[in-house]
């Protein structure tokens, strides 16, 4: 708990920096949110795909911004085409032009076309999903625990979301629908860890009624430390396997989850728990206990 005098200012500074990066640098929105076409091609017979040749051919088509990315084997290439004016028909026409230009030397393994209307709806639904999740967490914890725990867990969760958005702004990895799923998963992971710690704190508040709150919080943290370490290590090891051996399509999800798993454990220990000190949890608990004892003595006299 003594580290809160360092972690609180540090987290506040990082959160402000993440917000500033979001409004200045912004996110590298994927095709899911910007609209456009994503094509995954593979050179036939295991040949190496020539990115320079592909780029020169596609640039000549005058389709706007064209991004090429090699992933997996040397024969695999990911092509991103900008949103074409003219709606879905123009997007389909751009796909046909690419196929005709590259010819039969490639297998077209995946083609995804997202129109501007669909991408706009996806942005709104993604933001709405995160807001509903945060409100749901707050309401659940308010009924499950006292208000101090609900507010503390919500602040810690918002801290994780803000830092994750900052991570996307710094790294400029694609922010798409899988990224929204990553943020929601990070929220769930963080809240789960926080609830385990809070439950142990509440249990010890009833058991050690005269122990100073800072000492009690340290004791609760230490008693759940092995569980936190084992759970987070298991998650991180699984994510590392997906990062090194998984397909390119899930890399943005995995990278955000690796970052969020570490931040989620940090916020549960150094943000959510110390906040209870500033909310006066022990003072209120002692006051309620005194009122209960007074009522018991009054009943005994009568």
What does the pLDDT read at residue 9?
Answer: 92
**Phi, psi of 77, rounded to the nearest 5 degrees:** -140, 140
Whole-angstrom distance, CA of residue 283 vs CA of residue 265: 27
What does the pLDDT read at residue 116?
Answer: 58
In which element (H, E) is residue 77 found? Answer: strand 76-81
Task: Measure the CA angle with vertex 52, ends 49 and 58; round to 5°.
Answer: 95
* Residues 164 and 16 sit within 8 Å (Cβ to Cβ): no
Whole-angstrom distance, CA of residue 252 vs CA of residue 168: 9
* Residues 169 and 18 sit within 8 Å (Cβ to Cβ): yes
What does the pLDDT read at residue 115?
Answer: 64
Instruction: Count Cβ atoms below 10 Å from residue 76 Cβ, excluding itself.
Output: 18
Q: Where are the alpha helices (DSSP H) in the chain?
A: 4-24, 31-34, 51-59, 87-102, 116-144, 147-171, 177-207, 213-223, 225-245, 251-267, 273-278, 281-301
Q: Which residues pair with 110 in a beta bridge?
A: 40
SS3 281: helix
**Which three-class secondary structure string do you get for 243-272?**
HHHCCHHHHHHHHHHHHHHHHHHHHHHHHH
* Residues 155 and 11 sit within 8 Å (Cβ to Cβ): no
Whole-angstrom distance, CA of residue 146 vs CA of residue 194: 14
What does the pLDDT read at residue 294?
Answer: 41
**Phi, psi of 81, rounded to the nearest 5 degrees:** -110, 140
SS3 8: helix
Residue boundaries of the structural domains of the chain: 4-28+119-292, 36-114
The residue to which tokens 């396997």 are assigned: 241
What residues have CB less than 8 Å from 25, skipping those under 6 apart?
169, 170, 172
**Which of 153, 91, 142 minimizes the C-alpha distance to 117?**
91
What does the pLDDT read at residue 17?
Answer: 95
* Residues 97 and 106 sit within 8 Å (Cβ to Cβ): no
CATH architecture of 4-28+119-292: Up-down Bundle (1.20)
Whole-angstrom distance, CA of residue 28 vs CA of residue 80: 13
**Which of 185, 183, 179, 194 minimizes the C-alpha distance to 267?**
194
What does the pLDDT read at residue 287?
Answer: 44
Would the CATH topology of 4-28+119-292 be identical to that of 36-114? no
What does the pLDDT read at residue 299?
Answer: 52
CATH topology of domain 36-114: Alpha-Beta Plaits (3.30.70)
Residue segments in the chain with a per-residue pLDDT below the cut of 50: 283, 286-298, 300
What does the pLDDT read at residue 14?
Answer: 93
């Amino acid at each position: 708990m003594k580290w809160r005098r360092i972690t609180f200012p540090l987290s506040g500074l990082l959160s402000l920096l993440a917000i500033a990066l979001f409004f200045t640098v912004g996110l590298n929105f994927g095709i899911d949110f910007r609209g456009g076409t994503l094509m995954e091609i593979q050179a036939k017979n295991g040949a190496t795909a020539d990115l320079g040749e592909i780029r020169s051919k596609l640039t000549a088509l005058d389709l706007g911004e064209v991004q090429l990315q090699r992933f997996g084997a040397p024969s695999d290439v990911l092509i991103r085409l900008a949103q074409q004016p003219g709606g879905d028909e123009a997007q389909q026409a751009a796909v046909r032009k690419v196929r005709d230009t590259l010819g039969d030397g490639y297998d077209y393994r995946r083609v995804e076309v997202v129109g501007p209307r669909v991408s706009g709806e996806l942005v709104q639904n993604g933001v709405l999903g995160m807001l509903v999740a945060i409100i749901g967490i707050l309401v659940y914890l308010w009924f499950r625990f006292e208000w101090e725990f609900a507010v503390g867990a919500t602040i810690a969760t918002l801290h994780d979301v803000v830092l994750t958005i900052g991570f996307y702004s710094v790294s400029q990895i694609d922010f798409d629908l899988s990224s929204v799923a990553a943020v929601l998963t990070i929220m769930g992971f963080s809240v789960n860890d926080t609830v385990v710690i809070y439950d142990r704190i509440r249990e010890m508040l009833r058991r050690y009624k005269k122990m100073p709150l800072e000492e009690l919080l340290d004791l609760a943290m230490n008693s759940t430390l092995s569980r936190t370490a084992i759970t987070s290590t298991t998650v991180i090891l699984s994510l590392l396997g997906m990062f090194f051996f998984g397909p390119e399509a899930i890399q943005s999800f995995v990278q955000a989850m690796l970052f969020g798993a570490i931040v989620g454990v940090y916020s549960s220990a150094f943000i959510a728990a110390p906040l209870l000190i500033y909310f006066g949890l022990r003072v209120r608990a002692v006051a309620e206990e005194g009122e209960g004892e007074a009522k018991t003595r009054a009943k005994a006299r009568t």
